[in-house]
Structure 1
């Protein structure tokens, strides 16, 4: 019976193959170790999926964005923001929809919007609701928007249909507290010393408060910060 012997080249080649296999495995383990916490949520089921209206921010389409979760930032993550339940949903790479733990989500960015999780009595007033707030303006006079939807039911042709009307709540920081604003008057009343100049800003920029309240509030607050520095 002939015994096969291994030469130096064969041993070297075998070792090289093992190293070649081990390297991508090590890279995979390192990458998955970083994302284990992100993809460790419970499954989310899209409710009222057949209704024309929906519970999500802007639309039903998955949008890629960034998340700062459990002390780490993740980019290019497909996500949906359920503003009826104030919950963030991501798409697992195996196709599942996962619900993230809100307490571990510091912020997320999607479609040009930056949402931060703020706690009542800490970053925001005691009477405000803990949850995600869209940062409309991030200057000295910080301005927040809480996006909200209500779920309503209507019967059409003997079928129950869900409706999700949206309502946005605006808050402007002044003297260490956030002030709820809704109307043009309520915004200008926060800055009585510059009311005339701020009205002129909207007029010069041809911004209608009634037609574009969000833009109007952001421009007023930004202009106020500029005037306050003079």
Structure 2
């Protein structure tokens, strides 16, 4: 597999300096970041971003649909990569392999960005963050990119979606396989993540206000079928995160 690497001498030295103790001294860390930023500016600002294996599109005429988030056409997005923000980057997000794909604006080659270096990215109006599984309920169950649909990952209450596309066999059709989207929802509350789907599992994530939330869901006519599930989960979590209504006298 072809691995395309841009000149990384200065960033490599900077990372070495931080590992050697610069990270412990705020002034030195700031100086290292400044030097690295000037280096990136001198090389067009994107030298650090474009490194990694070449991405080979595995979609073919025997599959129906595509593996990407929203669109199979490159769309400008923003990437937080190794501590640096890169705006207006042509991006694709492969949901089947859970990898972010970028293209150098001066080359037709597509690169698979190193996932461990991608802290977050914004694409099609959504913000994704990379979270690492620890085996504890305080982290999501699987390492990967999660769509933040309510709150922030550091907030006491937030909602994440793990979006995937699975290749499934199709019987009785000309194509052999089809990409099927799968969304899994996680509500963070009470200091841990809860896998949720229907109304009962969402309410179970908020044991201290179930009666109030049940009433809110009824008055707002919240539905938890496939089409309305995400919106309803977000509304319930957002309502819970807001100040509790005052008790009637």
Q: What TM-score does the superposition give when structure 2 sets the normalisation length?
A: 0.72
* Structure 2 alignment gaps of length 5 or more: 1-37
1:150 is paired with a residue of what secondary structure? strand
Structure-2 separation of matches of 1:225 and 1:126: 19
Any idea what the Cα deviations from partners look like across 1:129-180, whole Å, max 9, x if unmatched?
A: 11111111124302111111211233667x5532111111111112221111
Is 1:140 paired with 2:156?
A: yes
After superposition, what is the alpha-carbon deviation per residue over 1:163-212, rounded to whole angstroms, capped at 9, x for unaligned?
11111111111222111111111101222332233234344444433231
Alignment match of 1:39 (pick from 42, 50, 54): 50
- RMSD (Å) for aligned C-alpha atoms: 2.6
Structure 1: distance between partners of 2:239 and 2:163:
24
| Distance (whole Å) between structure 2 residues aligned to residue 86 and residue 203 of structure 1 | 36
1:195 partner SS: helix
Mark the CA change 1:199 to 1:45 in structure 2 (over 3 Å): closer, same or farther.
same
Of 218-227 and 99-108, the range deviating more from structure 2 = 218-227
- Residue 182 (str. 1) matches residue 197 (str. 2): yes
User: Would the alpha carbon gap of residues 68 and 151 (structure 1) be closer, same or farther in structure 2, given more than 3 Å must change?
Assistant: same
Distance change (3 Å), C-alpha of 1:112 and 1:123? farther
Greater mean deviation of Cα atoms: 209-218 or 65-74: 209-218
Query: Is 2:128–2:147's contact at 8 Å kept on the other side of the alignment?
Result: yes
- Over 3 Å counting, the alpha-carbon distance change for 1:155 and 1:47 in structure 2 is farther
* Distance change (3 Å), C-alpha of 1:216 and 1:89: same
Q: Distance between the aligned counterparts of 1:70 and 1:85, measured in 2?
A: 21
CA offsets per residue over residues 60-92 of structure 1, 9 Å max, x none? 122111000122100011111101100000122
Alpha-carbon offset, residue 56 of structure 1: 1.0
Alignment of 1:185-196 (within 5 A): 185-196=200-211
Match of 2:110 among 97, 111, 133: 97
TM-score (norm 1): 0.78
Partner residue of 1:83?
95
Figure out how many residues of one structure are paired with residues of the other and give that number. Answer: 203
Three-state SS of the structure 2 residue aligned to 1:164 is strand
Aligned residues of 2:53 and 2:111 also touching (Cα < 8 A): yes
CA distance in 1, matches of 2:116, 2:40: 26
Look at both structures and tell me which one has the larger radius of gyration over its CA atoms.
1
SS in 2 for 1:58: coil
Is 1:117 the equivalent of 2:130? yes
- After TM superposition, the structure 1 stretch with the greater mean CA deviation from structure 2, 220-229 or 175-184, is 220-229
**Aligned counterpart for 2:229 among listed residues 213, 216, 222:** 213
Per the alignment, do residues 229 and 98 of structure 1 end up closer, same or farther by CA in structure 2, a change over 3 Å counting?
A: farther
**Partner of residue 21, structure 2:** none
